[in-house]
Structure 1
């Protein structure tokens, strides 16, 4: 029976992969079909199949929908107001021309905290191309560190959707994940960003030119100030850190501690940051109510797709639990003495290579590993989130939208993109995982 359950689980994962890659189904459809297939063939009774699916979707999306929507709105405000550009400009001025890779990495890292990877690229690229035209340096030296900063944050740091979904699935502490993710993401990003860019730009000289992005000169006087731009990005992070620390502030009255924990919850901290952005990056910059409403509507539409994928990933997890597959895999991994961290990293990596989506990889792998660790003691679930996130970054190739974005926006050939972007993502993945294993020795 155990062998049969494992084979059915593997077939269901292959269904997800074939659905996304061969049949070109949306990941939501693929995950839903795989969940129903697994439920039926594992012998789950007919009356429990739909309720398991609904429980899984509700469980993971209950705390997530608002966070995703608010994070996207904040990202849109940073993009439209020029706040992201202002931050990048600030780092370039501080570091000077010789240390441009470091300036671009920090820009990408900080801009990437509240925005999706794709939005971050669109904020950074005009600056990358402006610098390249002014300095005549190889564009890879300037662009790759910025992209590495965006990517490592997207894979590991809340409030990005994959990380938030995994936190929900593993029932991890968001504040701890945020703290650990920053400790791990910085060194991983430095190795995959400035250091890798310095190595590769001497070996790959792009033959093409970036043509998709036309650099528009923005009057610096029309941009929000550097201080306001930084504060808008870092406000939700600061509030979440305060919220996590609140229960330990025993010197404060009980009600104050509860109020700080409330303000530091992801939903409330992002809501406050959005209102801050509406006022200081919107009204103060001359953007009217109608335009703000349009920005909000424009950026909420794409969230629907991510919400569906994450919800279906949660359903897959619930079916794994209810059908007993999780217990079976757990017993096997215990007999193999495989660390849950290694297991999560490997499963996420395989799904990422197969489907091309870091979010699908993170959510599906978390769903597979979560039932396995249910009966284990001493598993650090916060580090498990980050091990899964690290695995979800590796070996981006032709089935990943990010691969094509980097190729087209930087004017690279497919071969050049493999030598730069694909290697960069794999370096980020393995260095981040090494960071997880090192941190596991101390926490």
Structure 2
């Protein structure tokens, strides 16, 4: 969401609340409840529910009808410019990854070297590594083909594969520089980047374990029947139904025979015996393609940390190739050359893969854009600044206050980055004179608060829902619960460290 700072945080600073505090908060609560009711009970398409409710919420908050429409379209456009392009490019990359056989090569390498019990832990590590320099949306579209194919091929419950990887992405997004979110807080509060990195990384490890593998095992028991979506599987058949009867606690290690894995192996052997075996990229070639945008963005983050005001040609080039759209575009070009060449795909196959990928994410793009529109209306109505100012008058610990301000803005606006930027700016005057460890704890508290309670006004909520094929209720029970757990655990860690400094 970092690319949307100007369009969201900057645009809301000059817009005063259109109505009284009670009316604004009431409108926001009613809007959230109405969206959930329309989608869950009346089965209205999420795009229509979000669009209609957002515009009506703006009018109810005191905005002129034309201003409400303009606010929604501005938020929709800003989200599409930032997140939408990334989803589209990432979807094409993911489809080429699947159709060329590159995803199979990665999955085969994972399943060959890891037992079924260790898959959630490995996926958590992969998610954290990918998420370190990567915007959440980019990391999600890069990892989704691997997540879905690992779940399909291994027979492990989808949530045991997906939640750990997404937990790793989310923890890095909120807590650990050089991710841009924490870097904004570090810069605004003049905190020490090295100390903030050390504390954030130390806290991220237990947080990812708790909100990833540990939570995923519980979630798999709550929701035993989850289908692996067709997206990125390279098949035209329906998803694979997974149930808890295939609990991996009784499954033998990868490569052995027994239980559900035998059925999968026999099915795959039958498919291979009746089809022409096509060449595919090696695991190394595929891994390079996945890591390429990560390296580009990481190099940019490191260079900007070491040389924040550099304007030389090298820094300009690094900044350009580290831009998320460019970095992911370079990965797509790499895939269109090396994945295609290694698998002997024809140009017509590449075009078909791109068309299929864009068709499969068209609905996701509209839903995510509408979520961005709702977010912008809530920002322009002044709800985020209203809640932040209320938190400042609470007279509580500055670490807890930092978390509370960020959490309230996050709930009101649906943007972790807007929450980080807003909370950092509000708390900057209070941070003057604090010690270096205390400043780093404020960075951690703000980052943890920015993860709190993702719901229907967050485009990330809809990305996770649509990519994993979950219902709104299931998304609340998995994604929302996971980021909220990360948020509370991050706050607890910051308060614990505060007690010893």
TM-score of the two chains, using structure 2 as the length reference: 0.62
Match for residue 427 of structure 2 among 377, 381, 385? 377
Per the alignment, residue 3 of structure 1 pairs with 22
**CA deviation vs aligned residue, 1:370-426 (integer Å, no higher than 9, x gap):** 8974961339789756644463399x9xx96788769xxxxxxx9xx99xx957984
Per the alignment, residue 244 of structure 2 pairs with 206
- Taking the aligned partners of 2:379 and 2:413, their CA distance within structure 1 comes to 15
Per the alignment, residue 409 of structure 1 pairs with none
- Taking the aligned partners of 2:407 and 2:371, their CA distance within structure 1 comes to 17
Instruction: Output aligned runs, 1:18-417, within 5 Å.
Output: 18-95=37-114, 99=118, 102-103=121-122, 106=125, 113=139, 115=141, 119-129=145-155, 145-153=160-168, 155=170, 187-194=206-213, 206-207=244-245, 215-217=267-269, 222-248=279-305, 250=307, 254-336=312-394, 339=401, 341-342=403-404, 345=407, 364=414, 373=423, 376-378=426-428, 387-389=449-451, 391-392=453-454
Alpha-carbon deviation of 1:232?
1.2
> Contact between 2:385 and 2:409, CA under 8 Å: does it hold in 1?
no
- Taking the aligned partners of 1:192 and 1:86, their CA distance within structure 2 comes to 28
More displaced, 231-240 or 109-118?
109-118
- Taking the aligned partners of 2:118 and 2:85, their CA distance within structure 1 comes to 39
Match for residue 14 of structure 1 among 33, 40, 65? 33
Residues paired across the two proteins, number: 393
Alpha-carbon deviation of 1:300?
1.1
Secondary structure of 1:302 counterpart: helix
> Contact between 2:127 and 2:169, CA under 8 Å: does it hold in 1?
no
- Taking the aligned partners of 1:172 and 1:33, their CA distance within structure 2 comes to 38
- Taking the aligned partners of 1:225 and 1:148, their CA distance within structure 2 comes to 27
Go from structure 1 to structure 2 and tell me whether the alpha carbon gap of 1:296 and 1:19 turns closer, same or farther (over 3 Å shift): same
Alpha-carbon deviation of 1:437?
6.1
Alpha-carbon deviation of 1:278?
1.3
> Contact between 1:73 and 1:295, CA under 8 Å: does it hold in 2?
yes
Per the alignment, residue 359 of structure 1 pairs with none
Alpha-carbon deviation of 1:291?
0.8
> Contact between 1:243 and 1:261, CA under 8 Å: does it hold in 2?
yes
- Taking the aligned partners of 1:318 and 1:202, their CA distance within structure 2 comes to 37
Alpha-carbon deviation of 1:17?
1.9
- Give unmatched runs, 5+ long, in structure 1: 130-138, 159-163, 352-361, 407-413
- Taking the aligned partners of 1:156 and 1:290, their CA distance within structure 2 comes to 40
> Contact between 2:79 and 2:369, CA under 8 Å: does it hold in 1?
yes
- Taking the aligned partners of 1:125 and 1:318, their CA distance within structure 2 comes to 36
> Contact between 1:340 and 1:384, CA under 8 Å: does it hold in 2?
yes
The CA RMSD measured in Å over matched residues stands at 5.0
**CA deviation vs aligned residue, 1:290-320 (integer Å, no higher than 9, x gap):** 1111111111123332332333233223323
> Contact between 2:300 and 2:319, CA under 8 Å: does it hold in 1?
yes
Secondary structure of 2:244 counterpart: coil
Alpha-carbon deviation of 1:282?
1.6
Go from structure 1 to structure 2 and tell me whether the alpha carbon gap of 1:400 and 1:259 turns closer, same or farther (over 3 Å shift): closer
